[in-house]
Amino acid sequence: MDTNPSAPSHDEFRASAAAFIAAAVEADEHCPGFGAIMPPALHDRARAWQRRVHEAGFAGIHWPEEYGGRGLDRSYTAIWSEECAKARVQPYLNLQGLILAGEAILRSGTDEQKRRYLPSTLSGETLWCQLFSEPDAGSDLAGLKATAVRDGEHYVLNGQKVWCSNGQFAEQGILLARTDPTEPGHRGISFFLLDMATPGVDVRPLTQMTGDQEFCEVFLDDAETPVDTLLGPEHGGWLVAMEVLQDERGSSGASGLISLERRLAYLASLKGDDQVLGDELMRLLVRGHALKAMLMRSGAGPAAASAAKLLRTELEFDAELLEATLRGADGMLAGESTDRMLYAPGMKIAGGSSEIQRNIIGERLLGLPREPRP
């Protein structure tokens, strides 16, 4: 329970959130839920929705008031996310800004960085993207090659990033680059807050097999970023990034449980004449209920977040394939179901591939020997 004497009760807050969402849906002034990655077609609507949410006091609920939040505890943020999930409404503009960049700045930013970036992030004026993965360093993030060389009051950036969600719209990006090339692996990596309008930053959208362009590749060619855009200590960006990735993998919380329950109810409604397919459907339902039980009792930590991420994305992928099979020839037609099937494989990679999640679970949760490194 929040210790703030002026804080509303949880019931009062839930009622006000539900009423606000219902009114926005009725007036068609909301943004439909899209999860972690904003579809380009919803960009304008998502920005307008973030402004509306911010004006109503439902943005940055647990963020300090001095940065535009309400100063309540995280339980109120969870309630907001639950009510949005129930109404199938997006709780925030995008994961990369409100969860990844925002929380990282709250934890590791200077006072000046917090004042500079947080209010505009909450209002929807600033959209963020994530510049971590590279063509040869995705799941093996410690192998990244992008460099940041100190030159007076700037760092000079060079390299290539890929799978950058919404990079073509973003004003800011969270960037990992190597500041000490003599250090191997994760040592010598720093974390930056990059202005995407900086000369030398070239953003190129990538077309997915869904036909959409949610992701981009980004080229850095002698792009200069001021020293005060360094987040956390120089050469110490790996620890900042690992907390960001934990936020990413464990971001769904109770709202994820609600969407999982809805998904399981939908799967239970499917029917097939083939006994083999019926058996496979039952296996999916058993896996889904096991995941639900784990979400209800699991604690925090990177291993628990990795287990939830692994089980959820693998379940969604297998469910989409089974549904397409049950639809028969209709499974080859364009439409929402086909789009979901084409989209599902990417979720096994985004946020850390399934193979990396299995390594984390094995090494940190089960205590197995570390994977051999060449």
Kindly report, residue by residue over 322-337, the tens digit of the pLDDT: 888 888 888 778 778 8
Q: Confidence band (pLDDT; 50, 70, 90) for 302?
A: low
In percent, the amount of the chain with pLDDT more than 90 equals 56
The answer to whether position 245 is within a domain reads no
The answer to whether position 259 is within a domain reads yes
Of 93, 115, 137, at which residue does a domain stop? 93
The answer to whether position 164 is within a domain reads yes
In percent, the amount of the chain with pLDDT more than 70 equals 93
Residues 305-321: what's their mean pLDDT? 87
What tens digit of pLDDT does each residue of 256-269 get? 778 888 888 888 88
Q: Is the pTM of this model over 0.75?
A: yes
The count of structural domains within the chain is 3
Give which of 143, 157, 152 is closest to 188, Cα–Cα: 143
Residues 74-91: what's their mean pLDDT? 93
Residue 341 sits in a domain of what CATH number? 1.20.140.10
Tell me, yes or no, whether 256 and 359 share the same domain.
yes
Nearest 5 degrees, angle CA 151-CA 103-CA 306? 105
Query: What contacts 2, CB < 8 A, 6 or more positions away?
Result: 72, 73, 75, 76
Tell me, yes or no, whether 146 and 75 share the same domain.
no
Residue 219 sits in a domain of what CATH number? 2.40.110.10
Main-chain phi, psi angles of 137, to 5 degrees: -150, 75
Burial of 146 (0-12, 13-18, 19+ CB in 10 A): buried
The answer to whether position 256 is within a domain reads yes
Q: Determine which of 84-98, 120-134, 332-346 has the lowest per-residue pLDDT on average.
A: 332-346
Query: What does the mean pLDDT of the chain come to?
Result: 89
Which carries the bigger pLDDT value, residue 199 or residue 302?
A: 199
pLDDT at 249: 61
Q: Report the alpha-carbon distance of residue 207 to residue 101 in Å, rounded.
A: 25
Tell me, yes or no, whether 331 and 270 share the same domain.
yes
3 state SS of 367? coil
313 to 100, 165, 309, 349: CA distances (angstroms): 19, 18, 6, 9
pLDDT at 1: 47
What is the token pair recorded at 109?
């930013």
Q: Report the alpha-carbon distance of residue 203 to residue 162 in Å, rounded.
A: 10
What is the token pair recorded at 359?
């390594």
Tell me, yes or no, whether 207 and 287 share the same domain.
no
Tell me, yes or no, whether 279 and 342 share the same domain.
yes
The answer to whether position 214 is within a domain reads yes
pLDDT at 211: 84
Per-residue pLDDT at 127 exceeds 70: yes
Tell me, yes or no, whether 228 and 289 share the same domain.
no
* Number of Cβ atoms within 10 Å of the Cβ of 346: 17
Q: Report the alpha-carbon distance of residue 320 to residue 335 in Å, rounded.
A: 13
What tens digit of pLDDT does each residue of 18-57 get? 999 999 999 999 999 988 889 999 999 999 999 999 999 9
Tell me, yes or no, whether 266 and 355 share the same domain.
yes
Give which of 243, 256, 254 is closest to 102, Cα–Cα: 243
Q: Confidence band (pLDDT; 50, 70, 90) for 252?
A: low
> Are 126 and 78 contacting, i.e. CB atoms less than 8 angstroms apart?
no
The answer to whether position 203 is within a domain reads yes
Per-residue pLDDT at 180 exceeds 50: yes
Residues 201-229: what's their mean pLDDT? 94
Report which DSSP code applies to 336. H
pLDDT at 329: 82
pLDDT at 348: 85
Per-residue pLDDT at 151 exceeds 60: yes
Tell me, yes or no, whether 361 and 257 share the same domain.
yes
Tell me, yes or no, whether 201 and 264 share the same domain.
no
The answer to whether position 347 is within a domain reads yes
Catalytic residue set = 248
Query: What contacts 319, CB < 8 A, 6 or more positions away?
Result: 263, 267, 284
Per-residue pLDDT at 254 exceeds 80: no
pLDDT at 352: 77
Enumerate the H helices of the chain as residue ranges.
10-26, 43-55, 74-87, 95, 102-108, 111-123, 237-249, 253-269, 275-297, 302-327, 336-347, 354-360
Per-residue pLDDT at 167 exceeds 90: yes
The answer to whether position 243 is within a domain reads no
Q: Helices 302-327 and 336-347: crossing angle, nearest 10°?
A: 150
Which carries the bigger pLDDT value, residue 318 or residue 36?
A: 318
Q: Confidence band (pLDDT; 50, 70, 90) for 201?
A: very high
Q: Report the alpha-carbon distance of residue 249 to residue 352 in Å, rounded.
A: 8
Residues 157-182: what's their mean pLDDT? 95
Tell me, yes or no, whether 68 and 34 share the same domain.
yes
Domain housing 146: 129-235
303 to 132, 181, 307, 352, 361: CA distances (angstroms): 20, 30, 6, 13, 5
Of 93, 117, 149, at which residue does a domain stop? 93
Per-residue pLDDT at 253 exceeds 60: no
Tell me, yes or no, whether 196 and 262 share the same domain.
no
Which carries the bigger pLDDT value, residue 229 or residue 313?
A: 229
Of 206, 235, 264, at which residue does a domain stop? 235
Tell me, yes or no, whether 142 and 224 share the same domain.
yes
Per-residue pLDDT at 132 exceeds 80: yes
> Are 92 and 36 contacting, i.e. CB atoms less than 8 angstroms apart?
no
